[in-house]
């Protein structure tokens, strides 16, 4: 939240109010949403996932807040569980996501088809990242013949592995702090009709190739 507020203000945005839910009412957002629109905001930003995300999206629509201000937040606020259970209430919402179930790559089709068969819903970004992490470990282990002397050696070997064709998002590589580079984001809109709820891609946003600042910030915040 601190990073969002700082970046938003630096870009010229104005924060009208920050509201924090009390422990006893952590799943009831109607009062906070009603209070939020009294200040006349253009948008309400929230950072939650899981049950909280489902309740927020549902009450945002049912309370009428949807008519007054946009609801924005990280992609986890709009994960498949939210879309599947509250599709008509999520319709029209727009957000950025790092993974798109409809992305047309062979590796993504393998992940999405298997996930749908197992869980009857689309994989979210967390599921995709977990899949890619596991794939990176397994491919490295295969290259090493199952023999790894230590963690540092394993990571060094991982950076030499070819992941071409194996990762759902396409390109995959590691930065100097051993995190996967994010190459692009998708600007999507939630569409709900008689065929169900899905994310409609509006545009693809490439990540700035100058990653020096990101590397420095990641390194400072790495433990």
At 26-82, the pLDDT tens digits run 667 888 888 888 889 999 998 877 778 888 888 898 888 999 999 988 888 887 777
Distance (Å, whole) CA 211 – CA 223: 20
Q: Assign 162 to helix, strand or coil.
A: coil
Residue 114 phi/psi, 5-degree rounding, is -70, -40
Say whether pLDDT at 22 is over 70.
no
Q: Tell me 79's DSSP state.
A: -
Residue 19 lies in a domain: yes
Region class of 36: left (phi > 0), else alpha (psi between -120 and 50), else beta:
alpha
Distance CA 167, CA 55 (A): 32
User: What is the pTM for the complete model shown?
Assistant: 0.77
Q: Is residue 115 part of a domain?
A: no
77 lies in a domain? yes
Q: Which residue has the tokens 């068969």?
A: 117
Note the residue count of the chain.
223
Q: For the chain, state the CA radius of gyration.
A: 20
Beta strands 43-45 and 70-72 are: parallel
**What is the percentage of the chain residues whose pLDDT exceeds 90?**
22
**CATH number of the structural domain spanning residue 36:** 3.40.50.2300
**What is the extent of the structural domain holding 89?**
2-100+184-203
Tokens of 211: 């990653």
Asked whether residue 148 is domain-assigned, the answer is no
Give the distance between the most distant pair of CA atoms in the chain.
62
Q: Does residue 137 sit within a domain?
A: no
Q: What is the pLDDT of residues 192-222, one digit of tens each?
A: 988 888 889 999 888 765 555 555 554 554 4
Residue 98 pLDDT > 70: yes
Q: Is 168 left (phi over 0), alpha (psi -120 to 50) or beta?
A: alpha
Within a domain: residue 147?
no
How many domains, in total, are found in the chain?
Answer: 1
In a domain, 86, yes or no: yes
Determine phi and psi for 166, rounding to 5 degrees: -105, -20
The answer as to whether 15 is a domain residue is yes
* Helix/strand/coil (H/E/C) assignment for every residue in 22-48: CHHHCCCCHHHHHHHHHHCCCEEECCC
Q: Where are the alpha helices (DSSP H) in the chain?
A: 2-10, 30-36, 50-62, 80-85, 87-90, 106-119, 125-143, 151-158, 212-221
More confident residue, 136 or 214: 136
What is the pLDDT, as a whole number, of residue 219?
53
């Amino acid at each position: 939240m601190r990073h969002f507020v700082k970046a938003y203000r630096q870009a010229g945005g104005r924060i009208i109010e920050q509201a924090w839910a009390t422990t006893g009412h952590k799943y009831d957002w109607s009062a906070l949403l009603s209070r939020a629109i009294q200040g006349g905001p253009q948008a309400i930003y929230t950072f939650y996932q899981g049950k909280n995300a489902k309740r927020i999206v549902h009450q945002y629509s049912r309370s009428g807040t949807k008519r007054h201000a946009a609801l924005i937040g990280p992609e986890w606020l709009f994960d498949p569980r939210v879309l599947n259970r509250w599709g008509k209430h999520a319709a029209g919402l727009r957000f950025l996501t790092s993974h798109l179930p409809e992305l047309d790559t062979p590796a993504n089709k393998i992940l999405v088809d298997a996930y749908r068969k197992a869980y009857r819903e689309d994989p979210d970004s967390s599921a995709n990242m977990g899949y890619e992490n596991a794939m990176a470990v397994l491919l490295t282990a295969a290259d090493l013949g199952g023999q790894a002397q230590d963690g540092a050696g394993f990571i060094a070997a991982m950076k030499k592995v070819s992941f071409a064709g194996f990762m759902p998002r396409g390109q995959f590589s590691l930065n100097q702090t051993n995190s996967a580079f994010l190459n692009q984001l998708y600007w999507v809109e939630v569409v709900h009709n008689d065929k169900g709820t899905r994310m409609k891609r509006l545009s693809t946003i490439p990540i700035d190739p100058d990653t020096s600042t990101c590397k420095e910030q990641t390194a400072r915040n790495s433990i």
